Structure 1
Amino acid sequence: MIPSRLDQAMAILAFIVFGGFLGILFGYVTRWDLGIMVGITLALCAWDFWHMATGRKSDHH
C-alpha cells in the first residue's frame, strides 16, 4: 500500500509536533539520562515514520 500525500503530510506534522514536545521537555528538565531517552524515542519514531512514508510497512492486515 502506497501512502497518500495527505497521510505523509500528517505524519510529518505529527513527527514535528512530537519532536517539539520532546525538545521542550528536555529543555526544561536537562538531565543526561532524559536526553538519552529522548534521543532513543526520536530515533524509533523517525525509523517508523520512514518505513510508513516509503510504503515498506502497513498498518492494514
Structure 2
Amino acid sequence: AQLRSDPRAGYYDAKREEGSWWPVWLGWLQERSGELGNPDFNLGSAAHPPLEAAPGTYVHIR
C-alpha cells in the first residue's frame, strides 16, 4: 500500500464495513496459530517468583 502525504486520506478513503471485525481477526489468528495447549496456571518461575498474591499491595496505594 502506498502511504499518502496527508494522514487523513486513509480515514476519508476507508471503505465502511458492517458488523464486527472480531470474527475476521479471530480467523486470521487461528490460521496462523498452532494447536491449543493446556494453560499453565502457575505464575512466575524459579528465577522470577511472584512477589505477592494478586491484586498486590500496589493497587491499594494512593
Query: Does TM, normalized by the shorter one, top 0.5?
Result: no
Query: What TM-score bracket applies, with the shorter chain setting the length?
Result: under 0.3
Tell me which of the two structures has the higher relative contact order, counting C-alpha pairs closer than 8 angstroms and 6 or more residues apart: 1
Higher helix share: 1
If you compute each CA radius of gyration, which structure gives the higher value, 1 or 2? Answer: 2
Q: TM-score, normalized by length of structure 1?
A: 0.26
Q: TM-score, normalized by length of structure 2?
A: 0.26
